[in-house]
Amino acid sequence: MTKTIGFGILGAGLIAPFHAKAVRDTKGGKLVAICDMAKERADKLAGEFKTKVYYTLDEMLQDPEIDVVNVALPNHLHHDAVLKCAAAGKHVLTEKPPAMSLQETDAMIAACRRAKVKFGCTVQCRVRKAIQAMKQAVDDGRFGKLLHADAIMKWYRSSEYYHSDAWRMSRKSGAGVTVQQAFHYIDLLQYLVGPARLVQARMTNIAHPGIALEDTLLAFVDFGCGAQGVVQASTALWPGTDVRIELNGEHGTAIMAGEKMLTWKFRDERPEDAAIRSLGSTSQATGASGAADLGHADHTVVIQDMVDAINQDREVVIPVTAVRPTLEIVLAMYQSAARNQPVALPVQDDESIWAWQS
């Protein structure tokens, strides 16, 4: 018999309402509680969604109605929260990046394994239909030899966005464009064409004076499969345009813009290709112009998967183990920028990663 799965959202900030709406839209999931140490924020969101409210994670973890905690805290706080959730026997869905280092990520994975709880990550762009079609085409070998895999993210975030909370201006809290916004699209490249073997990155701040972060990343990536790629990511480019994911192989090219399939062309045209060309919508905002300029449909798919995984006693579709290689690429990019030289993977955690020289 399927059980109703209770969710508690930890952190009632910018992304929390998207989780709340997504839980509400699942079949078999129930939003039980909101928790934030900022009382007004917690009260406001709990009032809107008519849930219980907690002001500390410890209190929320004692609630027997909660099966899953959605960790929606600033990036540097994920690690401690996930360890506590695992120790309390709660399943966890953490926001991206899973943590600030590989060591922390491995400790979180080990704790969840020991506690036999599921541990997923909301890199929700993976579930977009256009991305799923690209993944299928890669798995079916339709591209032939993969030649290029690129992510082009020309976005905009205002100075007010960065000043809205201290953690948004701190590299150690995970606020640079590479680990914060571009993480999703570096993740898509990693998901689609596999782990990287070498990266070379340059990071600059071109439009947010007074903030000690990179607002712009330019990077080359060599993937283990032989493809090469470019990641161009910025929050400096007003008004912000839809991110593009581009795959080129010897036998085909696919390009997604935002969530819409823009180009889908293979030498072996198949009957299903016409429908694939119309996947996604140009009217769905995907974060280009502002942090809250998003829908919650992709989060709903990820949260529905958590509900189903618990009820079916199976692994979630996006476990943190599958996102660890993305964090590794991102950390290698920071190392490369700090050292001004290419970095081969695997990388080791290193304090220089979070240093910033303008």
According to DSSP, the β-strands at 146-154 and 228-234 are parallel
What is the CB neighbour count within 10 angstroms for residue 156? Answer: 19
Distance of alpha carbon 186 from the chain centroid: 9
Among 124, 234, 235, 300, binds ligand NAD (CB under 6 A): 124
Least distance in angstroms from the C-beta of 17 to ligand NAD: 9
* C-alpha angle 45-285-246 in degrees, rounded to nearest 5: 130
Question: Of the two residues 145 and 163, which places its CB atom closer to ligand NAD in the complex?
Answer: 163
Least distance in angstroms from the C-beta of 185 to ligand NAD: 11
Give residues 194-253 in contact with ligand NAD (rule: CB under 6 A): none
Question: Of the two residues 73 and 320, which places its CB atom closer to ligand NAD in the complex?
Answer: 73
Q: CA-CA distance, 43 to 36, in Å (whole number)? A: 9
Least distance in angstroms from the C-beta of 252 to ligand NAD: 29
Question: Of the two residues 12 and 111, which places its CB atom closer to ligand NAD in the complex?
Answer: 12
Give residues 87-116 in contact with ligand NAD (rule: CB under 6 A): 95-96
Establish if 332 lies at the interface with ligand NAD (CB under 6 A). Answer: no
Among the listed ranges 11-19, 61-69, 273-281, 335-343, the one in contact with ligand NAD (CB under 6 A) is 11-19
What are 68's strand-pairing partners? Answer: 7, 91
What is the CB neighbour count within 10 angstroms for residue 162? Answer: 17
Question: Of the two residues 54 and 264, which places its CB atom closer to ligand NAD in the complex?
Answer: 54
Give residues 55-84 in contact with ligand NAD (rule: CB under 6 A): 57, 72-75, 77
* Closest alpha carbon to 249 in 230, 236, 264: 264
Q: CA-CA distance, 333 to 200, in Å (whole number)? A: 6
Question: Of the two residues 142 and 214, which places its CB atom closer to ligand NAD in the complex?
Answer: 214
The 8-class DSSP code of residue 211 comes to -
Among the listed ranges 10-18, 132-140, 210-218, 327-335, the one in contact with ligand NAD (CB under 6 A) is 10-18
Instruction: Order across the sheet with 29-35: list the strands.
Output: 52-54, 29-35, 5-10, 68-71, 91-94, 119-121
Question: Of the two residues 137 and 152, which places its CB atom closer to ligand NAD in the complex?
Answer: 152
* Closest alpha carbon to 201 in 230, 179, 175: 230
Task: Count residues binding ligand NAD (CB under 6 A).
Answer: 25
Question: Of the two residues 41 and 251, which places its CB atom closer to ligand NAD in the complex?
Answer: 41
Give residues 286-305 in contact with ligand NAD (rule: CB under 6 A): 291
Establish if 46 lies at the interface with ligand NAD (CB under 6 A). Answer: no
Q: CA-CA distance, 166 to 175, in Å (whole number)? A: 10
357 phi and psi, to 5 degrees?
A: -115, 125
Q: CA-CA distance, 88 to 68, in Å (whole number)? A: 11
Residues lying near ligand NAD in the complex (CB under 6 A): 10-16, 35-38, 41, 57, 72-75, 77, 95-96, 122, 124, 165, 180, 291
